[in-house]
């Protein structure tokens, strides 16, 4: 029976048991060493900042908790003091421990205001206690002064107001080229300024440069080109996005009126550094007045005696106006063209009645009374054959002798008898060259009895009255 019992219970070799005991011993030793090292590590010196009543001091301590550090430094907080972090908080490298009275701090984050009560003075400590983590590209102002995020940990003054503008991404489209930028700017113009993109007069910015930024906003920049405009004596250097000269002028409020034109022409395309000249054109009309002589109209009047005249309507000169169109470009005359003659006032004809009533009268002559029907005042001269170089044949073929007179046949027709006082009866049978007046008579003589004449005298035209009478004689 005892043999069966021994056979049913397995036995562990003694060498195996000895090896297992050795392994357990090694593990126990390792655990003890680990615990010792962990204990030692927890008590390694830590560098922390200690803020007491606004005074910050850097402290190196091996204390394990905030309370241990205060005990170690012999600091007994007043009953109303606040300790941050709490006394049981484990000490860590770089920690800031504050002991004091809480105060209110204004925290504005992306435009949202929060009043936060804290015992911390330094802005980074305040933000850390609020759980606010900053990006190095964020914009921060402490007490109204911009402070880089990297300087917040050492900023010396107690922070009473902290403004945070977290950075975000915007896109900028310049003539189709799109780039992204991280910014903390508030407006479109500030964002463009941050990346050194200038805004020129005439550029198109969408949205408006004063618009507030929002995350992922796309800012469109359409560039203008520089141009120079000379108009009305003023040189303007500006920029434009206009496609043509006319549109560029319209953008600046420069209008072309009437005959005005531009160089280059209005339809010309805009190019960079183009110079546009506006030419102001004016036209003035220069008028010169001159008289229009009236005409004399004669009309027969049988109530008036022959060779009598009477003005029945006075003549009035008219006025004509010669217009000259003068073109001025920018005040300088460039051309003048006659623009025709305009009658300002038409002339009024002078109307003269001339007599057609023939009255037969008698004149005494050395040969007795003779009837006459017309008397003409004429300038009398005399001539004879010798004065003509011996020529004694008249224009009508008669021989020149006393009783032959030379006349203008348009005044006294040939073969008409006339009586010239102190000369006698003469027959119009000759004529002569041009004279100063049509009303002249050259009294014919023989060479032997020639008498010189040179004076005005009345010449009587004797009857009979011819069948056709020239009632209106030529002018003198």
Full set of structural domains in the chain with CATH: 103-165 (3.10.20.30), 168-222 (3.10.20.90), 225-279 (3.10.20), 284-354 (2.20.230.10), 358-462 (2.40.40.10)
Q: Cα 383 to chain center, whole Å?
A: 88
The answer to whether the predicted template modeling score (pTM) of the entire model surpasses 0.75 is no
The four Cα atoms 370, 373, 379, 381 give a dihedral, to 10 degrees, of -40
CB atoms closer than 10 angstroms to residue 18: 9
Q: Output the pLDDT for position 78.
A: 87
Query: What pLDDT does 157 receive?
Result: 80
Instruction: Specify burial of residue 260 (Cβ count, 10 A radius: 0-12, 13-18, 19+).
Output: middle
Judge contact between 262 and 256, C-beta under 8 A: yes
pLDDT at residue 339, rounded to an integer: 86
4 by DSSP, 3-state: which? helix
Maximum CA pair distance of the chain?
231
Residues 6+ apart with CB under 8 A from 370: 362, 363, 419, 425, 460, 462, 463
* Residues 6 or more apart whose Cβ sits within 8 Å of residue 245: 262, 264, 265, 266, 267, 268, 270, 274, 276
Distances (CA, A) of 221 to 166, 210, 461: 24, 14, 110
Report the sign of the C-alpha dihedral through residues 60, 66, 71, 75, in that order: positive
What are the angstrom distances between the C-alpha of 34 and each of 23, 91, 92? 17, 21, 21
Predicted local distance difference test score (pLDDT) of residue 17: 57
pLDDT tens per residue, the chain (476 residues)? 333 333 334 455 656 656 666 666 777 665 654 444 444 445 689 999 998 977 888 999 999 999 999 999 889 888 888 999 999 999 999 899 999 888 999 999 988 999 999 999 999 999 999 999 999 999 999 999 999 999 998 887 899 999 999 898 999 999 889 999 999 888 999 899 989 998 887 788 999 999 989 899 999 998 889 999 999 999 999 988 889 999 999 988 999 999 999 999 999 999 999 999 999 999 999 999 999 999 999 999 999 999 999 999 999 999 999 999 999 999 999 999 998 899 999 999 999 999 999 999 999 999 999 999 999 999 999 999 999 999 999 999 999 999 999 999 999 999 999 999 999 999 999 998 888 899 999 999 999 999 999 999 999 999 999 999 999 998 87
Element containing residue 115 per DSSP (H, E): strand 112-118
CA distance 185 to 202: 23
Q: CA 109, CA 118: separation in Å to the nearest integer?
A: 17
The Cα 364–Cα 370 span in angstroms is: 6
**What's the pLDDT at 32?**
56
pLDDT number for residue 296:
93
Place of tokens 């407006």: 187
Alpha carbon 195 to its chain centroid, in Å, reads 34
With beta carbons less than 8 A apart as the criterion, state whether 97 and 85 touch: yes
Q: Are 329 and 261 in contact (CB under 8 A)?
A: no
**Helix, strand, or coil here: 281?**
strand
Residue 231, φ and ψ in degrees, nearest 5: -150, 135
In degrees, rounded to 5, the angle at the alpha carbon of residue 251 between the alpha carbons of residues 226 and 195 is: 45
Residue (of 346, 354, 290, 352) closest to 316 by Cα position: 346
Distance of alpha carbon 357 from alpha carbon 444, whole angstroms = 32
**Predicted pLDDT at 41:** 46
pLDDT at 24 (0 to 100)? 62
Dig out the tokens for 155 from the structure.
């900023």
- Rounded Cα distance between 395 and 385, Å, is 13
* DSSP bridge partners of 348: 316
């Amino acid at each position: 029976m005892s043999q069966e019992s021994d056979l049913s219970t397995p036995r562990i070799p003694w060498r195996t048991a000895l090896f297992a005991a050795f392994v357990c011993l090694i593990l126990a030793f390792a655990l003890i060493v680990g615990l010792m090292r962990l204990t030692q590590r927890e008590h390694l010196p830590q560098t922390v900042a200690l803020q007491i009543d606004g005074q910050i001091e850097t402290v190196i301590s091996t204390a394990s908790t905030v309370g241990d550090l205060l005990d170690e430094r012999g600091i007994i907080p007043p009953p109303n003091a606040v300790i941050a972090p709490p006394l049981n908080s484990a000490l860590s490298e770089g920690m800031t421990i504050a002991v004091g009275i809480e105060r209110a701090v204004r925290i504005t984050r992306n435009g949202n205001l929060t009043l936060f009560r804290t015992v911390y003075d330094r802005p980074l400590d305040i933000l850390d206690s609020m759980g606010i983590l900053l990006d190095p590209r964020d914009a921060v102002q402490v007490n109204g002064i911009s402070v880089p995020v990297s300087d917040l940990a050492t900023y010396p003054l107690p922070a009473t107001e902290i403004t945070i503008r977290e950075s975000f991404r915007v896109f900028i489209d310049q003539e189709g080229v799109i780039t992204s930028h991280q910014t903390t700017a508030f407006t479109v113009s500030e964002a463009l300024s941050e990346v050194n993109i200038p805004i020129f007069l005439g550029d198109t910015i969408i949205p408006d440069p004063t618009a507030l930024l929002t995350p992922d906003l796309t800012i469109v920049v359409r560039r203008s080109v520089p141009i120079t405009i000379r108009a009305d004596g003023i040189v303007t250097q500006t920029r434009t996005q206009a496609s043509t000269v006319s549109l560029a002028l319209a953008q600046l409020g420069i209008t072309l009126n009437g005959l005005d034109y531009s160089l280059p022409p209005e339809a010309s395309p805009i190019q960079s550094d183009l110079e546009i000249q506006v030419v102001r054109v004016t036209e003035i009309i220069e008028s010169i007045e001159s008289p229009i002589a009236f005409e004399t109209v004669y009309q027969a009047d049988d109530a008036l005696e022959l060779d009598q005249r009477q003005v029945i309507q006075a003549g009035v000169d008219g006025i004509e106006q010669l217009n000259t169109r003068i073109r001025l470009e920018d005040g300088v005359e460039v051309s003048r063209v006659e623009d025709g003659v305009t009658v300002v006032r038409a002339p009024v004809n002078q109307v003269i009645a001339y007599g057609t009533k023939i009255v037969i009268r008698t004149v005494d002559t050395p040969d007795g009374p003779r009837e006459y029907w017309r008397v003409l005042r004429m300038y009398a001269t005399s001539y004879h054959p010798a004065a003509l170089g011996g020529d004694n044949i008249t224009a009508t073929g008669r021989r020149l002798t006393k009783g032959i007179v030379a006349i203008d046949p348009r005044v006294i027709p040939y073969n008409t008898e006339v009586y010239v006082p102190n000369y006698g009866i003469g027959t119009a049978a000759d004529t002569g060259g041009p004279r100063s007046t049509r009303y002249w008579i050259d009294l014919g003589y023989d060479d032997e009895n020639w008498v010189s004449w040179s004076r005005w005298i009345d010449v009587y035209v004797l009857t009979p009255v011819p069948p056709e009478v020239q009632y209106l004689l030529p002018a003198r």
